[in-house]
Structure 1
């Protein structure tokens, strides 16, 4: 996946960690929630990931009037054949870019639940499978709340990881003026791999070795969020599974055939922080969820790395 990372870095300056996390989610068959202020490259990252792979990519602009059928598809009556024909919706692609997902109504947001969890769509009693790789990259702006519908916990729990792009460094922003000032580097991007290759990498990632000690460490980390005094809702069992899958992908991306405790600890915040809820005391003290999760992780004994 090094060539995919290099291709994306031609468009996104100085965001190696965010790019790597997007690739981890891709290899682990997870979904990515990109949450940050406007103009920092959320949609650009999603587009660059899609264009670097020769596969189907669809962008869905979430708006208040977007209907669930626009996402899943709808059966339309064909007057010539006298039969109903299924017209696929925006979810039928290898990589789905959901822009400003929190601007759609809860009913439309919930249309994604089955697709994200089971990689299928059920319409009028018929189930349609979605092709692998399948990944939803959703963006949202946490600052502007007017006209938005906050994602429910069930929806947030479907995302493997949440990232913040953050502002670029002055040097990266200066480079951006040179690369983006005269032309659009996204338009010049060419695929550096294809869906078949990515499917092979996903299959290989699943074979990455995880020792019993590391598995116990993963369970311990997730349980630490459930017993934290600063959290009124800890991470779910789905989070445990996705932390394992993400750790496997992180190890594979690093060129290793085994998962280390460092893979788990480095992914704990992006994989768990968006799934938990702070206690009233933590909210009053203005404790941030990433800091709370990080503190919970540090209470768990790290297994021997040998």
Structure 2
């Protein structure tokens, strides 16, 4: 029997909850961060994570790869890295007298780019190109990365010496920028217990083929046109604040968010709705994602920096000025979902 429009999302949510539970057997706390990782997995986006060392960023991706039965690679970015160290190169074989292609570490399902701002622009560009195109060209030959493909890049906010900040045009390729904070004392107590105790064996929960099916299911989640208009309006308010009665932030923004922000809001909201067991998006799904989707896409003015304002301050003002529309009528949503 064919699954109904309502049973299928519930099944997806249950599968993702099992995956999240398996990761949380190893990783303590970080609920917001882990939820955003799940959103990125379903929405086929990439994550930029900012946090001090030791907050389980590497452990999260490694554990996720084990639970997903996928390949995991970690690249420690340093100033002496070259693009070939990431994507691969051609190697001459003296015995055969021929060149062979050696593929780099980007050819993995889950890739952790540790301290991406420590590598020079050429290396950053090489990684961001793979993220966008999901393929690499070496000596005229094209090689596609495995599917699904998720990049999680980390930045360390406490050091600026010897770093190469990501250009605004390139950081836009990341679906979300997530800020990871310190754990509470209770969480840190559990962390110490787990790390100093017996190792936890991570059980495989979802295969990569199943994850591809879940991603396809995510694209079927219904989004009401009024919610799409709301997402576009939020993004437009960062470009032309005066049009939306936000004159007080006009001098704080040099450039607003790009159309990618609107797309990522909708794609992310679909994934979040699915994680919450719904085949349709509610306004709160979009509102919850706005800070993570917008904070790295806005260029603040010197005036804002002088006043110690952050992108999150400006996003809060935009959300306060532009309240979310009411929930779409339930019968309308049910009709549209059934016909999808």
TM above 0.5, one fold?
yes
For residues 318 and 159 of structure 2, what CA distance do their matches in structure 1 show? 30
**TM-score calculated relative to the size of structure 1:** 0.95
* Counterpart pick for 2:281 among 246, 259, 266: 259
Deviations 1:35-79 (A, max 9, x none): 111222222222222222101111111111111011111122334
Aligned residue in 2 for 1:174: 189
**TM-score calculated relative to the size of structure 2:** 0.86
Aligned residue in 1 for 2:221: 208
* Counterpart pick for 1:217 among 220, 226, 230: 230
Does residue 134 in structure 1 map to residue 156 in structure 2? no
Q: How does 1:22-61 map to 2 (within 5 A)?
A: 22-61=37-76
Q: Gapped runs of 5+ residues in structure 1?
A: none
Aligned residue in 1 for 2:158: 143
Q: Once superposed, which parts of structure 1, at least 4 consecutive aligned residues long, lie more than 4 Å away?
A: none
* Counterpart pick for 1:2 among 7, 17, 24: 17
216-225 or 189-198: bigger deviation: 189-198
Aligned residue in 2 for 1:240: 262
Bigger radius of gyration: 2
Deviation at 1:25, TM superposition (A): 0.6
Aligned residue in 1 for 2:212: 199
Deviation at 1:81, TM superposition (A): 4.2
For residues 48 and 155 of structure 1, what CA distance do their matches in structure 2 show? 28
For residues 67 and 184 of structure 1, what CA distance do their matches in structure 2 show? 36
Paired residues of 2:287 and 2:324 also in contact (CA < 8 A) = no
Q: How does 1:76-115 map to 2 (within 5 A)?
A: 76-115=91-130
How many residue pairs end up in the alignment? 304
SS of equivalent to 2:321: coil
RMSD (CA atoms): 1.5
Deviation at 1:158, TM superposition (A): 1.0
